[in-house]
Amino acid sequence: MAGNLLFYYFGDDEAYFKTLQGEMRQHCRLAFDLKKVYETDEKKIQSLFLTIYKTKPSCIFIDFSKNTQDYLHLARIIARTTMDHTMVTVGLVDYLSPPEVLMESVATGVNLTHIKSAESFDVVYDVMTLLSPGQMSHGFATAGLKEELQAGIPVKVGYIHNEGLHFETDYKLSKGSKIVLNHHWSAKKTVPSKTVTINNITSMNLFYQFKYAVDAEFMFIDEFLPPEGMEPATIEEKKAERDDLIHYHRKQLSRWIEDNLSRSFEKRAKVLVVDSEFKFYQDQARTDKHPYTIRCVPFMQDVGLELDKFQPQVIAFAIDKKEKDNPKNTQEALDHLVNAIKNKFSDISPYIIIFNTELSSKQCQDNLQYANIMAIKGEMSVDLLVRMADVFEKKLANMPIAVPKNNEKRVYIKKTNSASISEIMIPVTVVKLSETDMIFQTDIPLVVGSNLHLTQPVDMFVNVQLTKNQGKVPEYHGLIHCLGEDDKKELRRYVNTIFFRDHDAQVNAEAEEFKKLNEAKLQEKLENTAATEETKEPETEGET
């Protein structure tokens, strides 16, 4: 029906689709249409992006239960593409999905991830809260508390070397600061310490959908802080032990890097495609299967920022057709792009291929005063661009690799490898908790819409939203997701126990007081009896 919100479910779980549809009809106050679409071919799955871009749905549910990597790829390209409409994205996994799929779902950039079950109220509540805050109440008991917990901000690791690692995040860090980072190599005890020092932060040369690239250095072994009164000789002994452990674990990490170098692969060539029709997503092979990195954008929103972020060696620019409404990829936009390259990015000097132009390559080079240009009169040809990118990639592959500082050997971590996901640990204080959401406080400035990982009271993620009550300590509303049925029951039990904490504490205190009183009375009675026995005259035996 016209005017209804459009929702998509991308998957083939008919039973879950009907459950979701029924739950939405029961609780959603907004008029909506929920459509089910399922594809099995990777080209068709990638092309679902075009359906989203053209029809502008308010919400999409992406089921990762089948064709997992293809649908994860779809989620990634959605997350890193700027949309001109508001949309909620929900990843869905089932109980047969490996744990790493759930973590990867969160890492793709979807707003929420839910484990499919008969209980689907939380899915609807979360979506409605993001689309129309305050329009839907969950109705579950909310307990007040003050519980200090550790929460993890998921980040994506790009590569590791002998001294540290390189990761991407939306969380703004400070150079020189020390943070606690839960990472694969600390979990495996190769690098026991979780503390890392931030050496560099940049918004350049990013691979994932995040804002910042960070270089961090391992501490290897936590610092030794001698307790007051410890003998100097003992302190020196402990420091020597720590130095020995650092040396040992450095060797362990070096061995791991040597063992994994052969499986490491860096995509050196990068291709930026500026095309409002997204030809690379029209029944084409998955863009992440090429030996180089491809990024597609409908237009250049902020030329300087996007060139900084991606730093492409090849740019394909498709000029919008004259009949297109509100064209953005115009000759003027192309002029602006080339001028930005000449003025600020001359060190990159990317090769530019222009499609849909009436001018020759020579005319474009002369007009724009830029030599690295090829002009194509026809529409963008994916095959042509791929062939050119292949040539460029081979050219780069034959060029000597710039040696990183300290001659470090890098192992690049595949995005599908569980080691690619780490977490920055921060303290939070939960002040309200239900089985569906929570209110928490933290001094750490969080990105609204990001996700935090908590392992207490159960393993779960929360989607971060601001509340209206902003005092000295920022307060956030967290939508709980990534819960299985067992964890959901455990969380429900935990919330219920909070209500009885004060009552139980009072009962226990009264019982303890009563016990002490009884013991005091008993002791008093025993003392009185003993005193009576001492003052009593001894009995004498009579004559016989």
Residue 471, domain CATH: 2.40.10.220
Same domain, 358 and 442: no
* Residue pLDDT, tens place only, 293-308: 999 999 999 999 999 9
Residue 542 lies in a domain: no
Residue 223 lies in a domain: yes
From 66, 99, 131, the end of a domain falls on 131
State the average pLDDT over residues 528-533.
66
Same domain, 275 and 392: yes
Residue 189 neighbours by CB distance under 10 Å: 9
Residue 506 lies in a domain: no
CB 155 within 8 A of CB 410: no
User: Is the bond preceding 457 in cis, omega lying within 30 degrees of 0?
Assistant: yes
Question: Considering the entire predicted model, what is its pTM?
Answer: 0.89
Same domain, 34 and 87: yes
d(C-alpha 281, C-alpha 74), whole Å: 10
* Residue pLDDT, tens place only, 120-162: 999 999 999 999 998 889 999 999 999 999 999 999 999 999 9
CB contact burial 471-502 (16+ within 10 A = b; e otherwise): eeebbbbbbbbbbbeebbebbeebbeebeeee
Same domain, 167 and 256: yes
Residue 527 lies in a domain: no
Same domain, 51 and 112: yes
Same domain, 95 and 12: yes
Domain that holds residue 20: 5-131
Residue 537 lies in a domain: no
d(C-alpha 92, C-alpha 62), whole Å: 6
| Nearest residue to 26 via CA among 35, 16, 18 | 18
Residue 119 neighbours by CB distance under 10 Å: 15
Same domain, 103 and 174: no
* Residue pLDDT, tens place only, 282-294: 999 999 999 999 9
- Return the CATH number at 80: 3.40.50.2300
Same domain, 121 and 164: no
Residue 245 lies in a domain: yes
Residue 511 lies in a domain: no
From 78, 97, 131, the end of a domain falls on 131
Give the pLDDT score at 519: 72
Same domain, 34 and 127: yes
Locate 40 and state its tokens.
């099995």
* Residue pLDDT, tens place only, 386-441: 988 888 888 776 655 555 566 789 999 999 999 999 999 999 999 999 999 999 99
Same domain, 217 and 244: yes
Say how many domains are in the chain: 4
**Which ranges of 324-381 would DSSP assign to H, the alpha helix?**
331-344, 361-368
CB 45 within 8 A of CB 97: no
Residue 64 lies in a domain: yes
Same domain, 291 and 393: yes
Same domain, 377 and 452: no
Look at the chain and count its residues: 544
